[in-house]
Amino acid sequence: MNLPTPVGTLTAKGTTIVNLRAATEVLGRPLEHLACFMAWQVPSPLPNTRTSVVIYPAYVSISAPLSHEGPRQLLVAYIENCVRCPACKGLSRGLDGICTQCGTQTPDPVPPEVRSQVAEVLDD
């Protein structure tokens, strides 16, 4: 699988990441699901707040600073936790949790309440 490498840039408000949309297209997954995973996995830099993720047409903005390797590490963690089947190890787990290769069903690890931490902006 030839995934584009996500590239993050630190900003005053957190991190801007490009190439995530292209990576999710290769994976056959919606960018919104990856954004929810990111909101769930990345701790907020501020106490008593949650990390938010905003999806723009050309990039994704996350309200937390990430290291240079952070975007790539998040994508790898997403693949391991949400795409790879824990039974057959294939990259064939659907959004419904059912592996298309072996039929094993596993629940989505991303809690549904995280969806409120993700927003989409349709134009820059």
* pLDDT at 124 (0 to 100): 58
Give me 56's structure tokens.
């723009």
* Domain extent at residue 26: 7-109
CATH code for position 61: 3.30.30.170
Domain assignment present for residue 40? The answer is: yes
Residue at 37 is within a domain:
yes
| pLDDT score, position 46 | 83
Q: Is the pLDDT of residue 87 over 90?
A: yes
Over residues 1-23, the mean pLDDT reads: 91
Answer whether residue 120 is part of any domain.
no
Name the residue among 23, 15, 13 with its Cα closest to residue 70: 15
Q: Which of 32, 9, 8, 22 is nearest to 119 (CA)?
A: 32
With 90 as the cut, is the pLDDT of residue 118 above it?
yes
Q: What's the CA gap between 121 and 100, in Å, rounded?
A: 32
| Domain assignment of residue 25, yes or no | yes
| pTM listed for this prediction | 0.92
Q: Using CA atoms of 81, 84, 88, 92 in order, give the dihedral in degrees to the nearest 10.
A: 140
Evaluate whether residue 32 is within a structural domain.
yes
Task: Please give the Cα distance from 86 to 124 (Å, whole number).
Answer: 38
119 falls within a domain: no
Band (48; pLDDT cuts 50, 70, 90): confident
Residue 116 placed within a domain? no
- Report percent pLDDT > 70 for the chain: 99
Q: What's the rounded mean pLDDT across residues 50-64? A: 95
Check residue 108 and give its pLDDT. 93
Distance, CA of 81 to CA of 43 (rounded, Å):
17
**pLDDT confidence of residue 59:** 95
Residue 114 lies in a domain: no
Residue 47 has a pLDDT of 87
Number of domains in the chain: 1
Q: What is the mean pLDDT of residues 67-76?
A: 95
Distance CA 116, CA 81 (A): 20
